[in-house]
Structure 1
């Protein structure tokens, strides 16, 4: 995510490395490279120019703190300005209606139907809502069927009408159905349309007028860059939408749409899509995104994702198993499944400060755990619960069954053994002893 932009900004800040103070000359050189990096990221020229002008004015008028080097100060100023440019604070969806009606709009192929499902899943699992998906795309072949498949996948009802070619009527009838059946959120998935298609734009305007949604969201493919920003402006002129959703952000190495769109349409980015799974949806936090662009990671989001997968009851059971030295490969497999639910591995690693930069040339696939899982699935239930039973003969059988080498099996067994010992040590008072020791050190005199 934003790899190219991150690399170029990092090179720009290197100009200030070794300088004892900020001057007109070194600031000008640095910001020239920052502006070039933004333009390469497909940010609008005027936005990039205004951005660097604001940073320059603040940098020249800033006294460098004794704790900050000029390069560090420049990173901070760029981070603050990026945050403001992308919206400042996170903005949630308006769920005040009864039911709350959310109208989805956007171009053809922007990922609107899939994201409608992701949003329904998000509201169901994170906000304890009872959403209803509404199929109003009457033009695209199999669009209605696609929404039904998505709805079945996440356990959300889909409202559709066979043979009805009037999206206004379908949306109105869906809201009546929602009121009668206890649904508190209605997500209306409309047909994708081009801003230049006057007839289709009139149609969505009629739907908007008829149902008076609490939220109108514009869904756009982040990988289209500056074109996404221009399209958003055309749609906003007609619909006056409430917020933007950027899909396919995990595949965007430039970042132009995310950086520019708020400045052009003056509407916040509310959500981003970060993968193909139904769970791959994040609230958009401008400050966190600015930190990721600048290679600072995003520890807060990483912790939040981990907490979402944390099960207190399961954690207690696991604690008891570790204490009794009964932690086995089935438990290890369960931990892997929890990590996988947090998102794709490359995205997770990018949230760790410095890790994204260190591993930028390393190809990390979504199925990074597939060899480990294959090895564990090739073990018998007894072997999984008692790894100490696995001898050379069993290792050969496991390697053959999993399509891996005996070296890979040995490596996994060794890593598992080391991890088990570490977990046992922490359970056995190792952590408490460490805390006591640190507490005693506080009382020591220099």
Structure 2
């Protein structure tokens, strides 16, 4: 996951600060020197790091910090605030005109950054919020790009306007807007052509579209995996075309994440969204304060709640909760729960958002995809009766299930034992399911008591 290495290093540095009752100016400077190295290793721009450390140092060595009862916590609070400021301080959303007008968004970026997929992701989000988007295939150099946009548009339930590859992009854009007027589409999203690198032809084409079409907002898509090069690309696009917002893709990958920490400070342009996976739903609104908390291992409860609200069928959750209270929780429920966990990004993603667990839960401590696959295979090898009533699983039935799943019987026994333990634990923890007399108003509960 992005920032994992940086997050681990920062948490270790701050652990040392927390352990000291009093802090001297030298203690703070030594810790911030380590923070500086950690940020540089995460591929954050040197100029950005230099200014960041200067600002934090000036705030952190004040007497009100050093003489406070918890100076270590105060320093961490300052770092958190400055990290948030670095990434934009406030959340910035797409600029959209009133529904009776047509918003035109021009999507830009280099080949390989995920621009076409991201364009479809944006369209899906806008459709979900009540808008009527139209996707426009303006990449006339790569026929596969037109086809890819049409396939993703179909998946999102969003219409795609295409004129093939024999027309100028500016003419396609102009015709698309006329089409939108006739068909009541109030957002037109132009998927422009990318190149392997910034070149004059691409820029001239984008300038022509910008100068002849009434563009509401220009959005640049950059790849987090390219590190500082993403910042350089953003700078060039901003100088030549002008950008209003940035979307960073592949932030879920094995990347150091420096682009997300540098790009706003260098370009002055806000990050609108971050791509956190390949699915068309894997696009998150960018919240600087939440990202700073994640990096410092403080969790991100609000994002966790939002993921749960999107992924979990509340009626099913209530039904399962009632069955759990009556000790009727079955392996079918277990499979349903695993599916919802996957929809929320997986177990490791969920746990990383819980305060206090960031950095504490390592990948090798969690079941991997193969293990989860074996669990599913074991459950699917059970009969409907066995899944509904695990108490009937005797040795001969377990032997048959193990053979059907292609695993040793010890794995079946282990799963049954874990299932029984989880069932007992959940039944005895009604507060975690949102039950009990002192149920918190507006409180969030994970399904089935987890």
What is the TM-score with the length of structure 1 in the denominator? 0.89
1:102 paired residue number: 105
Q: 1:155 to 1:375 in 2, by over 3 A?
A: farther
2:5 paired residue number: 4
1:291 paired residue number: 293
Among 377, 391, 396, the alignment partner of 1:374 is: 377
Query: Hey, what's the Cα distance between the residues in 2 that align with 1:19 and 1:387?
Result: 52
Query: Hey, what's the Cα distance between the residues in 2 that align with 1:53 and 1:382?
Result: 66
Q: Tell me the matched-pair count.
A: 435
TM-superposition CA deviations, 1:396-424 (whole Å, max 9, x none): 22222222222222222223233334444
The 8 Å contact of residues 110 and 198 in structure 2, kept in 1 or not, is answered as no
Query: Hey, what's the Cα distance between the residues in 2 that align with 1:137 and 1:283?
Result: 26
Query: Hey, what's the Cα distance between the residues in 2 that align with 1:109 and 1:286?
Result: 25
Structure 1 residues not aligned, in runs of 5+: 437-446
1:308 paired residue number: 310
2:345 paired residue number: 343
Q: 1:152 to 1:366 in 2, by over 3 A?
A: farther
The 8 Å contact of residues 130 and 184 in structure 1, kept in 2 or not, is answered as yes
Per the TM alignment, residue 63 of structure 1 is displaced from its structure 2 partner at its CA by: 1.0
Query: Hey, what's the Cα distance between the residues in 1 that align with 2:379 and 2:420?
Result: 14
Per the TM alignment, residue 368 of structure 1 is displaced from its structure 2 partner at its CA by: 5.7
TM-superposition CA deviations, 1:23-63 (whole Å, max 9, x none): 33222222222112111111222211111111111112241
Q: 1:68 to 1:185 in 2, by over 3 A?
A: farther
Query: Hey, what's the Cα distance between the residues in 1 that align with 2:202 and 2:25?
Result: 52
Query: Aligned Cα RMSD in Å?
Result: 2.6
**2:126 paired with 1:123:** yes
TM-superposition CA deviations, 1:275-322 (whole Å, max 9, x none): 111121111111111111111121221122112223333234334434
2:17 paired residue number: 16
2:444 paired residue number: none
Per the TM alignment, residue 80 of structure 1 is displaced from its structure 2 partner at its CA by: 0.6
Per the TM alignment, residue 430 of structure 1 is displaced from its structure 2 partner at its CA by: 10
**2:397 paired with 1:388:** no
2:191 paired residue number: 189
**Does the residue aligned with 2:111 lie in a helix, a strand or coil?**
coil
2:61 paired residue number: 60
2:257 paired residue number: 255
- Deviates most, 334-343 or 220-229: 334-343
The 8 Å contact of residues 129 and 184 in structure 1, kept in 2 or not, is answered as yes
Alignment of 1:223-372 (within 5 A): 223-322=225-324, 325-360=327-362, 362=364, 365=368, 369-372=372-375
Per the TM alignment, residue 239 of structure 1 is displaced from its structure 2 partner at its CA by: 1.9
The 8 Å contact of residues 22 and 71 in structure 2, kept in 1 or not, is answered as yes
The 8 Å contact of residues 220 and 245 in structure 1, kept in 2 or not, is answered as yes
**Does the residue aligned with 1:362 lie in a helix, a strand or coil?**
helix
Per the TM alignment, residue 250 of structure 1 is displaced from its structure 2 partner at its CA by: 1.0
Q: 1:402 to 1:154 in 2, by over 3 A?
A: farther
Structure 2 residues not aligned, in runs of 5+: 440-450
1:213 paired residue number: 215
2:446 paired residue number: none
TM-superposition CA deviations, 1:193-238 (whole Å, max 9, x none): 3664111101012122233222211000011111111110100112
The 8 Å contact of residues 244 and 268 in structure 1, kept in 2 or not, is answered as yes
Q: 1:141 to 1:346 in 2, by over 3 A?
A: farther
TM-superposition CA deviations, 1:252-281 (whole Å, max 9, x none): 442210111001111100100111111211
Query: Hey, what's the Cα distance between the residues in 1 that align with 2:431 and 2:302?
Result: 30
The 8 Å contact of residues 21 and 64 in structure 1, kept in 2 or not, is answered as no
**2:29 paired with 1:37:** no
- Deviates most, 426-435 or 81-90: 426-435
**Does the residue aligned with 1:93 lie in a helix, a strand or coil?**
coil
**Does the residue aligned with 2:294 lie in a helix, a strand or coil?**
helix
The 8 Å contact of residues 107 and 119 in structure 2, kept in 1 or not, is answered as yes
2:443 paired residue number: none
TM-superposition CA deviations, 1:163-184 (whole Å, max 9, x none): 4331111122222222222323
Q: 1:163 to 1:250 in 2, by over 3 A?
A: closer
The 8 Å contact of residues 195 and 201 in structure 1, kept in 2 or not, is answered as no
**2:106 paired with 1:113:** no
1:25 paired residue number: 26
The 8 Å contact of residues 349 and 355 in structure 1, kept in 2 or not, is answered as yes
